[in-house]
Structure 1
């Protein structure tokens, strides 16, 4: 499984994760399965979508 980052929001924002949560909610309203995760290394909230790799054909 891979994840694609749609948008990143600084964790130091005065509103915390709210901007990221709002962005993810808007994407979900459009039918995109977006979720918010915290990237500790970059100190940011990321809005991501999961992408499932197709199974290998034998």
Structure 2
């Protein structure tokens, strides 16, 4: 069995959890980026208390 290559994350944008518009900015960004061909998604970084818009890229 070949070991899986770990995915590298590229942080596209950062939003503080206490953003004045709530979670709307981070959740509205990935669909826009996916329309441009970027596989983006939102994750929460607990250490920095931020929402991160990331895309996973595999390096061979």
Normalised-by-shorter TM-score class:
0.7 to 0.9
Q: Write the distance in 2 (CA, Å) between the matches of 1:25 and 1:11.
A: 19
For structure 2, the 5+ residue unaligned runs are 1-6
Partner of 2:53: 47
Partner of 2:18: 12
Note the aligned Cα RMSD (angstroms). Answer: 1.0
TM-score (norm 2): 0.81
Give how far 1:26 is off: 0.7
**Segments of 4+ in structure 1 off by > 3 A?**
none
For structure 1, the 5+ residue unaligned runs are none
TM-score (norm 1): 0.84
Query: Secondary structure at the residue paired with 2:48?
Result: coil
